Amino acid sequence: MTINPIITAAEAVALHGKSGTVFADATFHLPTAGRNALEEYNQERIDGAVFFNIDTIVAPDSDQPHTMPDAATFEVHMRGLGINKGDLVIVYDRSIFYSGARAWYMLRLFGHAEVRVLNGGFDAWRDAGGPVSTATPAPLPKGNFTASASLGDNAIILIDDMKSIIGMPDDQRSFQVIDARAAGRFKGEAAEPRPGLRAGHMPGAVNIPIGSLINPDNGYLKEKDELEAIFKGIDPAKPIITTCGSGVTACGLALGLNIIGVDGITVYDGSWSEWGSRADCPIATG
């Protein structure tokens, strides 16, 4: 059965407090935002929500931010959050770019089908009258989450394979590479939020900024027909790789594509934080 990847605030409120439903705050802010997602969670959250920390649910031995952990590591984290096999996990955020999509992608990557993203995030929840807590988060019972095979997505691509794809002649390259960063960063006209990175993009990549998927008036994802128009230049019959700054908003593109019926997306997990730091990786500007 195909699960709608998003859920409305009204639907989510109706499920609040029901056995087998877990709310998870997956907020992440860019290093330049001047905001701390964990502090915001501790101050105010959906009542009973756990904190899905994108900064710590990572491969422990990686020197890159947000590197995908292995199945065993992810399983330990999910059990620590009290998540069980079969739970419906409703992920939300208070980011400007739907960082909750990263948690959605990770759970699906490790075989958990029952996961949906709250459309409109925390603001939509409050607007719908959903219960909010400002109390100190309570200790969590250990869950029995079990990692298994990936659901529908071709998961993750590593840098060596990415270099091989980018290095192919245009007429031999089957993969479509979509970059979720803002246009200024993609073009090499704006500085990266992480120090030491070159400016620009991977040769042959196209730019669909994550912000273009979001309604600026209310923070909701745009309607399906609007998303279809945004992705109209992408061929769903050909493989798609999404990339961004550090692997977070690339998952937002995967979410948008999933909404319009395109699955099997591959995320370049290292994204620009890795590619832009390597002198052996070609870049383009403009």
Tokens 């607007």 belong to residue: 127
Determine the straight-line distance between the first and last CA of the chain, rounded to whole angstroms.
43
Pair of tokens at residue 283: 């870049």
Beta carbons of 176 and 238 less than 8 angstroms apart: yes
Question: Rounded CA gap, 192 and 23, in Å?
Answer: 32
Catalytic-residue membership of 281? no
The catalytically annotated residue of 12, 89, 115, 244 is 244
Strand 132-133 relative to strand 45-46, pairing: antiparallel
Q: Residue 25: beta bridge partners?
A: 51, 92
Eight-state DSSP code of residue 182: -
- Determine whether 151 is exposed, middle or buried from the number of CB atoms within 10 Å of its CB (0-12, 13-18, 19+): middle
Residues annotated catalytic, as ranges: 244
